[in-house]
């Protein structure tokens, strides 16, 4: 796992940045999201911190599986919400798939992200790639 991390202390102005290229690192991304939320002043509701961790987990997993095998995640917050941006090298936007109820092939992540986040935006990258922005209410 290659990783760049900026440690966030109790401040809304200092974002967290994480880069990863392994599915094993998704658990670390969730932990980073939880720690980010816990260190905000004032901290968000516990449910919001867990929702952020779940959205981060799904975005990171999708970036690794469908977006080119590497992602960059940025977390920040303001008075209204917790914000995550996940960039990957694929220009292909996420798409709805019929969830696989038997074989474990997925299809649940993108609908879950859209349901849990108060807003989701897909921004094409300059040249190639894309960034998915999601907000979770505080």
Nearest-angstrom CA–CA distance, 18 and 35 = 13
The pair of structure tokens assigned to 92 is 């292909």
* Residue 17 lies inside a defined structural domain of this protein: no
* Residue 115 lies inside a defined structural domain of this protein: yes
CB 102 within 8 A of CB 109: no
Q: Tens digits of per-residue pLDDT, 13-62?
A: 467 888 888 888 899 999 999 999 999 999 999 999 999 999 999 999 99
The two beta strands, 81-88 and 130-137, are antiparallel
Position 69 scores a pLDDT of 87
How confident is the model over 128-137, as a mean pLDDT? 96
Position 14 scores a pLDDT of 63
* Residue 59 lies inside a defined structural domain of this protein: yes
* Residue 85 lies inside a defined structural domain of this protein: yes
For position 38, which CATH number holds? 3.30.565.10
CB 93 within 8 A of CB 123: no
* Residue 82 lies inside a defined structural domain of this protein: yes
CB 1 within 8 A of CB 18: no
| Per-residue DSSP letter, 114 | H
Give the structural domain span for 40. 26-137
* Residue 31 lies inside a defined structural domain of this protein: yes
Tell whether the torsion through CA atoms of 110, 114, 116 and 121 is positive or negative: positive
Q: How many domains does the chain have?
A: 1
Which burial class, exposed, middle or buried, applies to 51 when counting CB atoms under 10 A from its CB (0-12, 13-18, 19+)? Answer: buried
Position 16 scores a pLDDT of 86
**Average pLDDT of every residue of the chain:** 86
Which range, of 6-10, 27-31, 88-92, 120-124, averages the lowest pLDDT? 6-10
Is residue 3 very low, low, confident or very high in pLDDT (cuts 50, 70, 90)?
very low
* Residue 87 lies inside a defined structural domain of this protein: yes
How confident is the model over 87-109, as a mean pLDDT? 82
* Residue 77 lies inside a defined structural domain of this protein: yes
């Amino acid at each position: 796992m290659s990783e760049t991390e900026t440690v966030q202390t109790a401040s809304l102005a200092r974002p967290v940045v994480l880069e990863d290229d392994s599915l094993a690192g998704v658990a670390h991304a969730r932990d980073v999201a939880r720690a980010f939320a816990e260190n905000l002043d004032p901290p968000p509701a516990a449910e919001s911190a867990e929702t952020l961790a779940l959205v981060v987990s799904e975005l990171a997993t999708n970036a690794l599986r469908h977006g080119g095998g590497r992602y960059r995640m940025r977390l920040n917050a303001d008075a209204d919400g917790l914000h995550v941006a996940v960039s990957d090298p694929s220009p292909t936007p996420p798409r709805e798939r019929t969830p696989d109820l038997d074989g474990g092939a997925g299809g649940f992540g993108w609908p879950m992200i859209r349901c849990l986040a108060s807003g989701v935006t897909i921004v094409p990258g300059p040249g190639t790639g894309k960034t998915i922005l999601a907000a979770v209410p505080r």
